[in-house]
Structure 1
Amino acid sequence: MSDHLIPEPLSQAQNQTNPIGSLQELAMRNGWRLPKYSLAQETGPPHKREFTVTCRIEAFVETGMGTSKKLAKRNAAEKLLEKFHSFSQDNIAISLRNEQNHNLGCTWDILRNSSGKKITVLKISSLSIPNTDYIQLLEEIAEEQGFNTKYLNIEELSENGQFQSLVELSTNPIIVCHGTGISWSNAHNDSAHSALQYLKIMAGRK
Structure 2
Amino acid sequence: MLLQAAVEEIIEKAPDAGLSITSIIRKIEGVRNRLLRTHGQEIAPYWMDLNAGEAEYPLLFPVGSLDSVIIDGRRYPWAQMNSRGYSRYYYTYSGVIGLVPTPQEDVTQGLTLFYKKTLVPLTVNDLNGEVGFDPEYDWLVVYGALIDITRGADAAEFKAKYDELLDDYLRTATTPEPTQIQVVDW
For Structure 1 versus Structure 2, the TM-score category normalised by the shorter chain is under 0.3
The structure with the greater share of residues assigned to helix is 1
Could you tell me the TM-score, scaled by structure 2's length?
Answer: 0.22
